[in-house]
Chain A
Amino acid sequence: MSKTLNFLCQDLTKSFGGNNVLNGCSLKIEAGEFIGIVGENGSGKSTFVRCLLGFLKPDSGSFFLPRHIGYCPQDNILNSKYKVSEHLLLAKAITKKNWVVHVEYLDSCLKRLKLLPYLKSRIGDLSSGTYQKVKFLTSIFHLPDLLILDEPYDGFDWQMYLVFWEIIAEIKSRGTSIMMISHLIYDRDKFDKIFSMKEGYLEQTQ
């Protein structure tokens, strides 16, 4: 039986001032599939994601996405003046408008990611690893249909790295499609497919 298609992208192109960053990227992801996209710094991985999420306008191409997406961005864009608890409260309130928020799952992730002691801390005062955990938690707590992770474990210690994979395995088993972008991918066996971004093209390498 064929699986449900959760994401499809065809011939996506994007250039900046004559410099072609994406040269016709095509990709499809089925429900519960976990794919990795690797590439050197500046190869266009983040541009690809920003086009998909609507932050950038692609020059051409077509794609469709599920409505319920979780996104862990590479940049530190969280509001530095908010406390972690305030950020999560807002994220929960926004998510609640459209989808069910699994409070128990959020609590369990808070515990496993060791974020409970930081709930009253200001985001601007967090260490880079803890900041990264908050971004990761924000992208997963509502159990999206498609999860896009851009360099998600930068700054994690070894123990947190293991917890990260534990959570990813859980989410995957619930049917969430996962797209992970990184310049370095370890544990290649955890991925269903790995693509390499080279000269604006996506090539399957695994």
Chain B
Amino acid sequence: MNKRNREKSVFLLLYSQTFKELMRNKLGLVLIFVIPTVFLAVVEWTAGSGTLPIKLYFFKQITEVFINAREMSLVFMAAAIGGFLMSYYAVLLFHKDFEYFRYCVHMKLSPVTFIASRFCFFFSLVTVLGIYTTLLMRSLMSFSQIISVLIGFILLGAIYGAYGGIVGILSKDFMIAILFVALLANIDAGWLQNPVFYSTAQQSEIIRWFPAFFPCQFIFSSIFSEKTNLWAALMSLLYASALFGILFLSVRYKIKGVYHGYHSKK
């Protein structure tokens, strides 16, 4: 086997091991399916049936639409849960057992292979969660742009996951990382992006720069209008790319050690 194939086999091994780690984390497994189901069931059970005016932000246009309160709450809640869950999983992926992988890098595991395997697993998880949430939503309400909605949830998961990963990698304490993740998810995806709130907010310019704004707008537009909000998709992609860039550099810096260059050949 040549060196490239060996690298590939290490990558596949790391990927499958990450999957096994998740399977052994009973709480993590329960969260991924139970939390969206329970939260959306509570919304379905308690939401009112009146209509509310909300704003949808397109590139040069703000459209006001009247939406059923129940449907609006379902979409908003799904987005908030998706954001929080993905940042929670990212903290698990990039914080837990990090010293072990540093040790593996010392044994000559390539940092790039490690990061690639974690990122691939992360995207698999985002996709699974996105598909599950979209299907759950589709079973509770009707919308035509299913693929766009799925993409929206994936973008939201990617942005929040990258944020969770950065917090996880930079924080020494797991609970502090979770606290930071919960705080941002709570104020941003769980409050500021609530259409009822942001549609009448005084400082909507500030709300627009929070991480969940663009993917939430993409999801809301895909569900509550016939248009595809390409501007929101593009901005989400830029946001996700920037955060992943920061995450990549943080992981690479931390896993290689500050002075790895000191290793020298005889």
Contact = CB atoms under 8 A, between A and B. Distances in A.
B100 A77 contact: yes
Contacts, number: 95
B99 A64 contact: no
Interface stretch (A55-63, A103-111, A152-160, A193-201): A55-63
B258 to A, nearest CB: 5
A78 B102 CA distance: 10
A67 B6 contact: no
A81 B17 CA distance: 9
B260 A54 contact: yes
A55 B102 contact: yes
**Residue from B24, B100, B257, B258 whose CB has the most chain A CB atoms within 10 Å:** B100
A96 B107 CA distance: 10
B259 A86 contact: no
A79 B97 contact: yes
Interface stretch (B8-16, B31-39, B180-188): B8-16
Given A80-B97, A94-B107, A64 B264 contact: yes
Given A66-B266, A77-B100, A86-B20, A93 B106 contact: no
B108 A90 contact: no
**Residue from A63, A65, A73, A93 whose CB has the most chain B CB atoms within 10 Å:** A93
Given A77-B100, A79-B100, A97 B17 contact: no
Contact of A81 (B7, B21, B263, B264): B21
A165 interface: no
B13 A90 contact: yes
**Residue from A5, A53, A71 whose CB has the most chain B CB atoms within 10 Å:** A53
Contacts of A94: 10, 104, 107-109
A82 interface: yes
A77 B101 CA distance: 9
B174 interface: no
Contacts of B106: 53-55, 69, 71
Given A79-B97, A94-B10, A94-B104, A58 B259 contact: yes
A120 to B, nearest CB: 13
A82 B17 contact: yes
A116 interface: no
B172 interface: no
A162 interface: no
A107 to B, nearest CB: 19
Contact of A90 (B7, B104, B265): B104
Given A95-B108, A97-B108, A98-B108, A90 B17 contact: yes
A53 to B, nearest CB: 6
Contacts of B46: none
Contact of B13 (A73, A75, A93): A93
Nearest to B14: A90
Contacts of A78: 100, 103
A169 interface: no
Contacts of A55: 102, 106, 257
A25 to B, nearest CB: 14
B258 A57 contact: yes
B75 to A, nearest CB: 35
Contacts of B99: 75, 77
A91 interface: yes
Interface of A: 5-6, 51, 53-58, 63-67, 69, 71, 73, 75, 77-82, 86, 89-91, 93-98, 122, 138
Given A79-B21, A90-B14, 7 more contacts: A6-B266, A53-B263, A54-B263, A63-B262, A94-B107, A97-B7, A97-B108
23 contacts: A5-B266, A6-B266, A51-B262, A55-B102, A55-B106, A64-B266, A67-B265, A73-B103, A75-B99, A77-B102, A78-B103, A81-B20, A86-B17, A90-B104, A91-B104, A93-B6, A94-B10, A94-B104, A94-B107, A96-B6, A97-B7, A97-B110, A122-B24
